């Protein structure tokens, strides 16, 4: 049979990446992401996937983010027992993220049972810690660039995607008689010339490209991350306020800390204490520093043989008691805490304490989804509800958009153009992992600029790669 490619997630949405490849020799998945965000999407995690988990021969995992890896424990629960290949750093981060995700599933089920709002009695978690541990046990680490012989005529390797620690794109070769079909899955593509993560590797010569389009219709601000952070913070620190930075624990917290360190060293910000108050962010920072030589991280981090990830003035707060110490400390100082969209976690305690004082500042550094407190504040709400109390919004807050770990439209185009070899551009590009508007904008751009044939696949749609290869 001709090789077949099917889209079981990450199609028409940014979450739930699951791409199935079937050939005579093997049946495998690239990524097993969880659907996140609106309820309609989240419910899809409970539906039977459009493939049999037991029948998969292996799985290639691009990176540890939950929208790419968060469905793995559920696959295991449903009978998946084959190897999961990923980079060593992805394996480390997955240990942290999958266990955390399982704990959240377990707590959600417990909460639903207590409140009695689930239609299922008792409400069950999507998966448990045991399932997460089962998934982690299947992981087999592979270095960037190392070819894996996976089945007869099926080879693959990971290349650096520059998105978060360990993130990869996957190059797959399928032998078709005399010819070799080359397919690249972009994973999430990182940015160029930013601190912390390195530039993405050039796109390998390929016939088919499956590429993300999170920011397929947008461009990030052109001023540097450091400038944006400095401009936002300087007044607050001058008036001896505390700046609260709600932040995602993996990648974003480390990036913000690194930018702060560089600003302080350059004398562009006063030398104030920085506190990382999130057990996840503390663990993630440790994992980053353990993998400091990883190809996905910027070389300059270890240029003088010493890690630059830990500024001297950063304090880590892992336990609740350590977190509570912060309540007594006056400004000027900077507190980084999660969750990034102010939906849960320790950041809420700080928000309650810091919002009513004009001297303080709340600095949002990530995407704020519809329905979250972060979004409500961006829309100008004068009070927000935290832990059942109305808190008046007196402290200014500011939202910085340029800190994304995703390439914007210009950078995505630059990356596709980085393809070398004789073919230069992919013949066919499947534009995925974006809101419909983003994906179609990028597809149109790629078609016009490069002349590639483009598709924006629908959920569940399959493509006969043999036909497209010949046609």
Question: Helix (H, G, I), strand (E, B), or coil: what is residue 89?
Answer: helix
Instruction: Compute the least distance from the CB of residue 431 to Zn ion, in Å.
Output: 16
65 vs 291 by CB, closer to Zn ion: 65
Binding span for Zn ion by CB under 5 A among 140-148, 184-192, 270-278, 407-415 = 184-192
From 94-102, 127-135, 183-191, 429-437, span contacting Zn ion (CB under 5 A): 183-191
Q: Are 127 and 73 in contact (CB under 8 A)?
A: yes
**In the complex, what is the shortest distance from the CB of residue 103 to Zn ion, in angstroms, rounded to a whole number?**
20
Pairing of strands 19-22, 4-7: antiparallel
Least distance in angstroms from the C-beta of 433 to Zn ion: 9
Alpha helices in 59-87 (DSSP H): 66-69, 72-77
CA angle 294-300-306, nearest 5°?
Answer: 80
Nearest CB to Zn ion, comparing residues 65 and 349 = 65
Q: In what order do the strands lie in the sheet with 274-277?
A: 314-316, 274-277, 333-337, 242-246, 361-364, 397-399
Q: Under a CB-based contact definition with an 8 Å cutoff, are residues 16 and 33 in contact?
A: yes
Question: Three-class SS of residue 382?
Answer: coil
Binding-site member from 18, 65, 261, 317 for Zn ion (CB under 5 A): 65
191 forms part of the interface with Zn ion (CB under 5 A):
no
Using the rule CB under 5 A, give the single segment among 118-126, 181-189, 196-204, 463-471 that binds Zn ion: 181-189
- CB of 277 or CB of 411, closer to Zn ion: 411
**75: its two tokens:** 């696959």
Alpha-helical (H) ranges within 144-278 are: 225-238, 252-265
Stretch that binds Zn ion, among 30-38, 60-68, 201-209, 348-356 (CB under 5 A): 60-68
Closest separation between CB of residue 412 and Zn ion, Å?
14
Q: Are strands 27-30 and 19-22 parallel, antiparallel or unpaired?
A: antiparallel
Compare residues 104 and 123 and give the one whose CB is closer to Zn ion: 104
* Sheet containing 179-185, strands listed edge to edge, beginning at the edge strand earlier in sequence: 148-151, 154-160, 168-176, 179-185, 208-212, 428-432, 453-455
- The smaller minimum CB distance to Zn ion, of residues 36 and 113, is found at 36
Taking the C-alpha atoms of residue 385 and residue 391, their distance in angstroms, rounded to an integer, is 6
DSSP-assigned beta bridge partners for residue 428: 208, 453
Contact 374, 193 (CB under 8 A): no
Please identify, using beta-carbon distances, which residue of 125 and 216 lies nearer to Zn ion.
216
- Selected binder of Zn ion within 188, 201, 277, 298 (CB under 5 A): 188
- The residue (of 154 and 403) whose beta carbon lies closer to Zn ion is 403
Shorter beta-carbon distance to Zn ion: residue 165 or 335:
165
Q: Are 276 and 336 in contact (CB under 8 A)?
A: yes
Mapped onto helix, strand or coil, the DSSP state of residue 171 is strand
Considering only residues 340-379, where is the footprint of Zn ion by CB under 5 A? none
> Min. distance of Cβ 6 from Zn ion in angstroms?
21
Detail the DSSP E strand segments found in 15-54. 19-22, 27-30
Which span sits near Zn ion by CB under 5 A: 63-71, 138-146, 221-229, 312-320? 63-71
Q: Do 291 and 297 touch, CB atoms closer than 8 A?
A: yes
Instruction: Name the E strands within 75-178.
Output: 84-86, 139-141, 148-151, 154-160, 168-176
User: With respect to Zn ion, which residue has the nearer C-beta, 360 or 438?
Assistant: 438
Window of 57-65, 91-99, 292-300, 364-372 that interacts with Zn ion by CB under 5 A: 57-65
Stretch that binds Zn ion, among 59-67, 307-315, 415-423, 463-471 (CB under 5 A): 59-67
Q: Backbone phi, then psi, for 116, in 5-degree steps?
A: 70, 30
Structure tokens at 174: 């399928």
Q: What's the closest the beta carbon of residue 212 comes to Zn ion, in angstroms?
A: 8
Could you tell me the smallest distance in angstroms from the CB atom of residue 208 to Zn ion?
21
Nearest approach in angstroms of CB 94 to Zn ion is 12
Question: Which residue, 197 or 275, is less far from Zn ion as judged by CB?
Answer: 197
Size of the site for Zn ion (CB under 5 A): 2
Give the binding range for Zn ion (CB under 5 A) out of 152-160, 182-190, 276-284, 345-353: 182-190
Name the E strands within 109-250. 139-141, 148-151, 154-160, 168-176, 179-185, 208-212, 242-246
Query: Measured from the CB atom, is 337 or 404 closer to Zn ion?
Result: 404
Q: Which x/- pattern, by CB under 5 A, does the window 4-43 give for Zn ion?
A: ----------------------------------------
Q: Rounded to the nearest whole angstrom, what is the least distance from the CB of residue 201 to Zn ion in the complex?
A: 16
Nearer residue to Zn ion within complex by CB, 31 or 277: 31
Measured CA to CA, the distance from residue 134 to residue 137 in angstroms comes to 5
> For Zn ion, which stretch binds (CB under 5 A), given 61-69, 144-152, 289-297, 437-445?
61-69
Residues in contact with Zn ion by the rule CB under 5 A: 65, 188
């Amino acid at each position: 049979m001709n090789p077949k490619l099917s889209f079981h997630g990450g199609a028409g949405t940014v979450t739930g990446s699951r791409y199935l490849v079937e050939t005579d020799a093997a049946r495998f998945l690239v990524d097993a992401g969880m659907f996140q965000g609106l309820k309609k999407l989240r419910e899809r995690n409970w539906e039977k996937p459009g493939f049999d988990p037991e029948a998969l021969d292996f799985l290639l995992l691009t990176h540890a983010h939950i929208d790419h890896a968060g469905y793995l424990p559920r696959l295991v629960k449903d009978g998946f027992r084959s190897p999961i290949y990923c980079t060593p750093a992805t394996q480390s981060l997955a240990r942290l993220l999958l266990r955390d995700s399982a704990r959240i599933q377990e707590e959600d089920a417990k909460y639903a049972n207590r409140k009695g709002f689930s239609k299922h009695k008792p409400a069950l978690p999507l998966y448990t810690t045991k399932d997460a541990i089962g998934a982690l046990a299947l992981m087999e680490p592979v270095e960037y660039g190392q070819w894996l012989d996976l089945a007869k005529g099926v080879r693959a390797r990971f290349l650096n995607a520059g998105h978060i620690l360990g993130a990869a794109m996957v190059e797959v070769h399928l032998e078709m008689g005399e010819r070799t079909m080359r397919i690249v899955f972009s994973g999430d593509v990182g940015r160029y010339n930013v601190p912390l993560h390195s530039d993405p590797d050039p796109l390998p010569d390929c016939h088919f490209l499956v590429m993300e389009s999170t920011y397929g219709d947008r461009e990030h601000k052109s001023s540097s991350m450091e400038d944006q952070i400095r401009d936002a913070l300087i007044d607050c620190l001058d008036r001896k306020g505390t700046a609260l930075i709600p932040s995602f624990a993996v990648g974003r917290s480390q990036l913000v800390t690194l930018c702060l360190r560089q600003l302080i060293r350059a004398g562009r910000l006063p030398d104030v204490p920085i506190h990382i108050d999130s057990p996840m962010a503390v663990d993630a920072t440790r994992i980053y520093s353990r993998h400091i030589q990883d190809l996905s991280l910027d070389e300059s981090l270890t240029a003088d043989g010493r890690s630059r990830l830990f500024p001297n003035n950063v304090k880590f707060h892992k336990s609740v008691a350590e977190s509570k110490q912060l309540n007594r400390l006056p400004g000027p100082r900077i507190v980084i805490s999660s969750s990034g969209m102010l939906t849960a976690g320790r950041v809420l305690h700080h928000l309650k304490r810091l919002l009513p004082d004009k001297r303080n500042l709340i600095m949002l550094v990530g995407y704020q989804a519809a329905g979250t407190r972060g979004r409500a504040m961006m829309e100008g709400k004068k009070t927000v509800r935290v832990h059942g109390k109305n808190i008046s919004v007196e402290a200014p807050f500011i939202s910085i958009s340029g800190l994304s770990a995703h390439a914007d439209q210009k950078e995505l185009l630059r990356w596709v153009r980085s393809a070398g070899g004789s073919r230069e551009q992919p013949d066919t590009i499947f534009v995925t992992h974006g809101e419909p508007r983003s994906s179609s904008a990028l597809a149109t751009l790629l078609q016009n600029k490069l002349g590639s044939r483009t598709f924006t696949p629908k959920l569940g749609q399959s493509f006969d790669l043999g036909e497209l290869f010949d046609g």
